[in-house]
């Protein structure tokens, strides 16, 4: 009969499959996992192994959720109830993983990484099946700014916001690279070839659904990985040059080309009525940044509270005269930068400790793949409010907590 502890460790694999689950199913699996965590904690009498440092670590890793709770208790704003629900994993995952670290096998992290890698592989394969079913060359011919057919296929098939999907794919690629690097002698040529081909599939997928930040993150992290992995600087330089050349060629042959050119030719001007018929030339990011900075100027020290962030931004957006299907009245644009979002919400006094808490594990565990994970998160937070969606919260807190305990166990 399988012991409770083994069942508990297997449950982590189920959690790692969250990319292929709906949000509701992910919530159910986390609830089941929490129940298993609590049962295991009680049955194994783990409380006697919990240290003061463990409690401090839980507080640090859950600091964002603690800020949200304090914000709600101070304002009683119902807007924050939804935020507390979305970010619940910021509390429960670090809490139960750290409390149960003595019951978590050293292989659980590896199995969870494999599960995540396979989940994203499945998403990519299903998406490409639909692409070839529709007609690859037909889609290539039809694809344009107003009809991004490849983006639509990946978005509709995976039900994942594409910047998040790009982040998942990049991390999966480095899981594959890292596994080949660490287990090169154990893996047969066939296994190494399959993992390598999956990494290529994920990379090409990313180019076709035109995740620009994911591509930039991949390049930056690849350089970091190569620098850390190879002592021979000539080899490092050769890899860097080869990566740039190969990526440039591939980009020119995929829909990513239009997105890159779009970013290059977009002017730094605020959205106005003169661009009403030229949606492709509207610099939404510049408009968002302009309003974010304006809000920060007046509230830079203590912020306005998370419950007031979007309202303050919308007040500034009202000054834009641009009017179209994607204008600032039809669509609610957040700050698209987690650091700025926290600065607006809690001022510089809140943003600094919260940012430190996100990367606290860097000082604890110097594992290369963990460093790659944190570097990807650091870059992702520059262009997306990753923690405003449940999927982003689960991704970060799940792997961050597991990597964290592998060194502190």
State residue 2's pLDDT score: 77
- Tell me the angle at which helices 189-208 and 162-182 cross, rounded to the nearest 10 degrees: 160
Does the pLDDT at position 409 exceed 70?
A: no
State residue 183's pLDDT score: 84
- What value does the mean pLDDT take over residues 219-232? 88
Going by C-alpha positions, the residue among 229, 235, 236, 215 that lies closest to residue 184 is: 229
- Tell me the angle at which helices 162-182 and 390-408 cross, rounded to the nearest 10 degrees: 30
Contact 337, 292 (CB under 8 A): yes
Read off the tokens for 164. 């998040």
- What value does the mean pLDDT take over residues 244-272? 78
Does the pLDDT at position 20 exceed 60?
A: yes
Q: Which residues lie closer than 8 Å to 72 by C-beta, 6 or more apart?
A: 80, 81, 84, 307
pLDDT in tens, 310-348: 999 999 999 999 999 889 998 999 999 999 999 999 999
State residue 9's pLDDT score: 96
389 backbone dihedrals φ, ψ, rounded to 5°: -125, 145
CA 296 from chain center: how many Å? 25
Does the pLDDT at position 363 exceed 90?
A: no
State residue 259's pLDDT score: 74
pLDDT in tens, 172-222: 999 999 999 988 778 889 999 999 999 999 999 999 998 889 999 999 999
Query: DSSP label at 388?
Result: G
- What value does the mean pLDDT take over residues 136-155? 91
State residue 144's pLDDT score: 82
State residue 256's pLDDT score: 79
Does the pLDDT at position 29 exceed 60?
A: yes
Does the pLDDT at position 383 exceed 80?
A: yes
27 backbone dihedrals φ, ψ, rounded to 5°: -60, -40
Going by C-alpha positions, the residue among 28, 41, 16 that lies closest to residue 96 is: 41
Does the pLDDT at position 1 exceed 70?
A: no
Does the pLDDT at position 267 exceed 90?
A: no
Going by C-alpha positions, the residue among 240, 162, 244, 172 that lies closest to residue 208 is: 162
Mean pLDDT over all residues of the chain? 92
State residue 157's pLDDT score: 97
Going by C-alpha positions, the residue among 320, 318, 299 that lies closest to residue 309 is: 299
Looking at per-residue confidence, does 245 or 157 come out higher? 157
Looking at per-residue confidence, does 143 or 70 come out higher? 70
- Model pTM above 0.85: yes
State residue 408's pLDDT score: 52
Does the pLDDT at position 304 exceed 80?
A: yes
């Amino acid at each position: 009969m399988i012991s409770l502890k083994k069942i508990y460790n297997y449950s982590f694999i189920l959690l790692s499959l969250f990319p292929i689950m709906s949000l509701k199913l992910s919530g159910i699996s986390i609830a089941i996992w929490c129940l298993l965590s609590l049962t295991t904690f009680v049955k194994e009498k783990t409380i006697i192994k919990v240290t003061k440092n463990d409690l401090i670590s839980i507080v640090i890793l859950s600091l964002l959720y603690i800020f949200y709770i304090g914000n709600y208790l101070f304002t009683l704003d119902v807007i924050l109830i939804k935020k507390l629900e979305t970010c619940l994993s910021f509390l429960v995952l670090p809490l139960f993983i750290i409390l149960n670290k003595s019951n978590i096998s050293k292989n659980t992290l590896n199995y969870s990484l494999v599960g995540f890698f396979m989940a994203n592989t499945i998403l990519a394969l299903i998406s490409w099946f639909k692409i070839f079913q529709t007609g690859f060359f037909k889609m290539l011919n039809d694809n344009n700014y107003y009809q991004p057919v490849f983006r639509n296929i990946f978005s509709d098939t995976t039900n994942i916001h594409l910047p998040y999907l790009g982040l998942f794919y990049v991390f999966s690629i480095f899981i594959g690279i890292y596994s080949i690097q660490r287990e090169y002698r154990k893996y047969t040529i066939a296994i190494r070839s399959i993992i390598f081909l999956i990494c290529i599939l994920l990379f090409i997928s990313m180019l076709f659904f035109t995740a620009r930040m994911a591509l930039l993150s991949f390049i930056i992290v690849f350089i970091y990985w190569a620098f850390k992995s190879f002592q021979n600087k000539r080899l490092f330089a050769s890899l860097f040059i080869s990566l740039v050349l190969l990526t440039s060629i591939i980009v020119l042959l995929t829909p990513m080309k239009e997105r890159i050119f779009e970013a290059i030719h977009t002017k730094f001007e605020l959205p106005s009525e003169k661009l009403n018929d030229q949606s492709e030339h509207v610099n939404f990011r510049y408009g968002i940044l302009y309003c974010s900075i304006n809000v920060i100027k007046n509230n830079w020290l203590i912020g306005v509270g998370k419950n007031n962030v979007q309202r303050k931004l919308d007040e500034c957006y009202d000054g834009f005269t641009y009017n179209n299907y994607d204008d600032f009245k039809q669509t609610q644009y957040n700050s698209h930068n987690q650091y700025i979002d926290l600065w607006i919400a809690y001022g510089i006094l809140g943003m600094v400790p919260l940012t430190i808490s996100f990367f606290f594990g860097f000082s604890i565990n110097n594992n290369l793949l963990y460093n790659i994970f944190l570097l990807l998160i650091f870059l992702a937070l520059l262009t997306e409010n990753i923690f405003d969606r449940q999927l982003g919260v689960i991704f970060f807190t799940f792997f961050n907590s597991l990597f964290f305990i592998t060194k502190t166990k």
